Amino acid sequence: MIKMKLWSMSLLLSLFACSQEEIQHIDDNAKSPIQFTSVVEGITITRANGATWSKNDSIGVYMKKNGEALSEASSINGAINIPYSTANGDGYFSSIKADIYYPEDESMVDFIAYYPQQILANPYIYPIDITNQTDLEAIDLLYSDNLTSISSRPNALNLAFTHQLSRLIFNIKNTNNSNLANLKLKLSGVRTKASFALADATLTLDQTSIGTIQMNTAITNAAATAQAILLPESSMSTKITLIVELNGKTKEYTLPLTSIEKGKQYSYNLNLANGGGEVDPEASYIRWTETPLITQSELNGTDLVYVNHYMPNSMTDPVSKGKMRNYSMLYSKSSRIAYWVAYPLFPACTGSTGRTDDWGYDPDIATSYQANLSSGFGGNGYDRGHQIPSGDRTCDVPTNQTTFYYSNMTPQVGQGLNQSIWAQLENQVRSWRSDTDTVYVVTGAIPPSTNVQFMKEMAVPSYYFKALARRLNGVFTTIAFKFDNKTYSGTAYMNQAISVQELEDLTGFTFFPTIDTTIKATLDKSKWQ
């Protein structure tokens, strides 16, 4: 199956303004060298290794006269392609060699920056060549021109970088469980070279540079993730062909791409079996770092509904200044439960608000497809089990109320599960957030394939799961848990831990599609103790 994923919203916003690097202060003196903080715009964690920045990443910085086009004549104090580096990978940039200072007359200036910094033959034109995909970060062009009309100030300046190229991802599984060790994926019909004008962010394609590239592939047994950086094209004159080579067999698929937009991510699911495969494009929907992939074939049916909820107060929030994600879900109208609920957990999500217990219908799903749980399940041992816990949304009353939508509930065994081991795991997830800016969470409930029991027209899940991802020291780590819908004698939730890839094999869902398969296949409990 094939899927598509967009890099359309700000990473700063996707973390609800909570992952901004703390603004660093320098001496309140116009003679102090200029330093920078930074954010990278994009819906996903878009640096290829899973971190926003890596240690010693270097950017090129220009300072020019306010309002003038970038050129040698408009540059100030020789600030042309000055290398700045983030020594710790935290997005705080200091000069490597020559410092940049504000002009002595305190006139306003503009800044332009790009990544990755290079010594350029023409200091105002950045050459692009994506032929070699071995190191995706080395060809992942970022650009910033947000700092304009700046005068001398004591604080570091915040560069907002945007992606100028695009990314293609294949999540691959071998459905007959044979080994993918010899798998190779290539793309033919790809334009590989271009030039990028740093003055105005204009990208000019080399029309003669159509060729074949080998995708960057991470393989674990019967699963793999393949990625490639692509050049944007508003109207493609040639079709891109995916070439799959495995154990001496070759299969080709024509990709349904008529254009490639900058900053967007195109994702596909590819299931291989006996040398052949099934390609299913991802549906067009709002998605986030934590959102599992949803294929077009899944949404073409009549049963599944994708719902995305926003923080109720985010539209008036002076920091977010717009819609901020709360949680999303894949809801089954026939089962009347969500198969999964995905959400980020970051500092601003929790506060002093208690449980509102404001049970009610989800306003984004027809009430005819929801069970009325105002009175619970009648004391028969089942709780109205939250998938996104009330305790994960205590920042304000309206947000907490959204966790009491009936769509977020399932018939979950109370004593010995919801009120004990499951609750302990939920508490621990909140604790794990203290080690990073955000924990990405997917909670799910899966009914049995046959002999489904219903309560108040809701399918009683056979088992529950959680899939978690977080960054530690700039690198993603993942873990998953599976619980049967039954009574457990203790609260040792780590006994239920499995790898995310195991959970994918069990459920059929693809979790955290931008994270390499090798990471999702690894279960290191020591990183989650």
- Judge whether residue 239 has pLDDT over 60: yes
Q: Is the dihedral of CA 24, 30, 35, 39 positive or negative?
A: positive
DSSP state of 21: P
Lowest-confidence pick of 194-203, 218-227, 318-327: 318-327
Higher pLDDT, 499 or 174: 499
pLDDT of the residue at 52: 67
Lowest-confidence pick of 275-289, 419-433, 495-509: 275-289
What distance in Å separates the CA atoms of residue 391 and residue 401, rounded to the nearest whole number?
A: 11
What distance in Å separates the CA atoms of residue 475 and residue 51, rounded to the nearest whole number?
A: 6
pLDDT digits (tens, 9 = 90+) for 430-483: 999 888 888 999 999 999 989 999 999 999 999 999 999 998 877 889 999 999
Do 338 and 459 contact (CB within 8 A), yes or no?
Answer: no
Q: Provide the phi-psi class of 418: left if phi over 0, else alpha when psi is between -120 and 50, else beta.
A: alpha
Calculate the average pLDDT of the chain: 86
pLDDT of the residue at 370: 97
pLDDT digits (tens, 9 = 90+) for 333-363: 999 999 999 999 988 889 999 999 999 999 9
Do 128 and 45 contact (CB within 8 A), yes or no?
Answer: no
pLDDT digits (tens, 9 = 90+) for 356-396: 999 999 999 999 999 999 999 988 899 999 999 999 999 99
User: 18 falls in which pLDDT band (50, 70, 90)?
Assistant: very low
Do 462 and 506 contact (CB within 8 A), yes or no?
Answer: no
- Judge whether residue 46 has pLDDT over 50: no
What distance in Å separates the CA atoms of residue 160 and residue 138, rounded to the nearest whole number?
A: 19
| 296-528 shares the fold of 166-281 | no
pLDDT of the residue at 277: 56
Residues near 363 by beta carbon (within 8 Å), at least 6 away in sequence: 405
User: 10 falls in which pLDDT band (50, 70, 90)?
Assistant: very low
pLDDT of the residue at 133: 96
pLDDT of the residue at 394: 95
**Domain 166-281, what architecture?**
Sandwich (2.60)
CA–CA distances in Å: residue 86 to residues 115, 351, 372, 480, 503:
12, 32, 53, 33, 36
CA–CA distances in Å: residue 453 to residues 375, 411, 448, 459, 462:
19, 10, 9, 6, 9
What distance in Å separates the CA atoms of residue 341 and residue 291, rounded to the nearest whole number?
A: 9
Backbone angles phi, psi at 369, to 5 degrees: -105, 10
Do 226 and 217 contact (CB within 8 A), yes or no?
Answer: yes
Q: What is the mean pLDDT of residues 307-332?
A: 76
Domain ranges of the chain: 166-281, 296-528
Q: Which fold has domain 296-528?
A: Extracellular Endonuclease; Chain A (3.40.570)
- Judge whether residue 51 has pLDDT over 50: no
pLDDT digits (tens, 9 = 90+) for 476-512: 899 999 999 999 999 999 999 999 999 998 998 989 9
What distance in Å separates the CA atoms of residue 413 and residue 214, rounded to the nearest whole number?
A: 49
- Judge whether residue 48 has pLDDT over 80: no
Render 68-126 in DSSP notation, one character per residue: SPSSTTTBSTT-SSEEEEETTSSS-BEESSS-----TT---EEEEEEES----SSTTEE
pLDDT of the residue at 24: 37
pLDDT digits (tens, 9 = 90+) for 242-273: 999 988 888 888 888 889 999 888 888 887 86
- Judge whether residue 50 has pLDDT over 80: no
- Judge whether residue 160 has pLDDT over 60: yes
195-212 as b/e, with b when 16 or more CB fall inside 10 Å? ebebbebebebeeebbee
Q: What is the mean pLDDT of residues 409-435?
A: 96
pLDDT of the residue at 76: 95
pLDDT digits (tens, 9 = 90+) for 134-158: 999 889 999 999 999 998 777 789 8
Backbone angles phi, psi at 277, to 5 degrees: -165, 165
pLDDT of the residue at 19: 37
- Judge whether residue 130 has pLDDT over 60: yes
Predicted model pTM? 0.65
What distance in Å separates the CA atoms of residue 186 and residue 228, rounded to the nearest whole number?
A: 9
Give residue for tokens 């003196």. Answer: 29
Residues near 497 by beta carbon (within 8 Å), at least 6 away in sequence: 479, 480, 481, 523, 525, 528
Instruction: Extract the tokens encoding 480.
Output: 């998953």
Residues near 333 by beta carbon (within 8 Å), at least 6 away in sequence: 302, 303, 304, 305, 369
pLDDT of the residue at 284: 65
pLDDT digits (tens, 9 = 90+) for 70-128: 999 999 999 999 999 999 888 899 999 889 999 988 899 999 999 999 999 999 999 99
* 491 burial via Cβ count (<10 Å: 0-12, 13-18, 19+): middle
3-class DSSP state of 62: strand
Task: Tell which residue, 188, 198, 142, has the closest CA to residue 165.
Answer: 142
Residue 437, number of CB atoms within 10 A of its CB = 17
pLDDT of the residue at 376: 93
